[in-house]
Amino acid sequence: MITRDQISTVLDHPVYDGTGNKIGDAKHVFFDDVTGEPEWVTVKTGFFGTSESFVPIHDGTLVEDHLEVPFAKDTVKEAPNVDVDAGGHLSEEEEHRLYEYYGIDWDTAWQQANQRGQAGLAGTGTAAQTQATAGREPAGDDAMTRSEEEMHVGVERRATGRARLRKFVVTEEVQKTVPVRHEEVRVEHEPITDANRDAAMSGTDITEAEHEVTIHEERPVVETETVPVERVRLDTEERTEEETVRGEVRKERIETELPEETDETGGTTGGTGKS
């Protein structure tokens, strides 16, 4: 159980679930009005801590510099959204809703409070009072703390799309001109001369004979060969652009009221100031 003396170690420190997953950072601790014991802690969750979830603290354990609670991270993040009023209190209806969400029996919690001799753990209309990280005024202090909010802007990296390479085959018609040759038969007649007379007179005088000539031609032959022509790859290029982020922050102003004083002429002086 977390004591009041350990609150400073809890606030603005990490909060983990029972399996070691970080839920967020502790922002506020709520106390029971009557018992004065810590009852709830709010945890900043979501991107840049934009959400604040309530989680019971009485079963939490302080481990080194962080708080461990017996609830899963997703359970805490999905807890009912509760708005705390200006007085920093939970209504009975709001606390009842939180108890029911976390599986804590309302009547049992009330009986346990009675067994400790202090009424109102689960039966008062104002269940808890906030202990904030800034703006709390200690009792007996004659100074007032002025606080203001600061805006912290970060970036998140997210996927915006996917690009892929896909290779497929297409067929296209290619036309090329190539020369081809062929042979044709030509009949030649030559007169008998002294040079060919002997060849012409050889053999028998009258006979039948045949002479055959083989005719040739060329035809185009098509062959294909696969050759590499280029390599293609995907790469990413990071570019930096300027974006303006606007938000609202709250500041506390302190106004002073001075008592009226009587001057020498019998009139009164006084004034107010702001900081």
The CATH number assigned to the domain holding 68 equals 2.30.30.240
Q: Which of 76, 45, 58, 52 is nearest to 6 (CA)?
A: 58
Q: Which of 131, 135, 130, 113 is nearest to 122 (CA)?
A: 113
Dihedral Cα 96, 99, 105, 109, nearest 10 deg: -80
Q: Which residue has the higher pLDDT, 115 or 72?
A: 72
What are the tens digits of pLDDT across the range 218-274?
999 999 999 999 998 888 888 888 888 888 888 888 888 888 766 666 555 555 555
pTM beyond 0.85: no
In this predicted structure, what is the pLDDT of residue 120? 40
The verdict on residue 53 lying in a domain is: yes
The verdict on residue 89 lying in a domain is: yes
Domain count, the chain: 1
Domain span at 11: 4-130
The verdict on residue 269 lying in a domain is: no
The verdict on residue 104 lying in a domain is: yes
User: Is residue 62 helix, strand or coil?
Assistant: strand
Alpha carbon distance 52, 27 (integer Å): 8
The verdict on residue 215 lying in a domain is: no
The verdict on residue 49 lying in a domain is: yes
46 within 8 A of 36, measured Cβ to Cβ: no
The verdict on residue 67 lying in a domain is: yes
The verdict on residue 13 lying in a domain is: yes
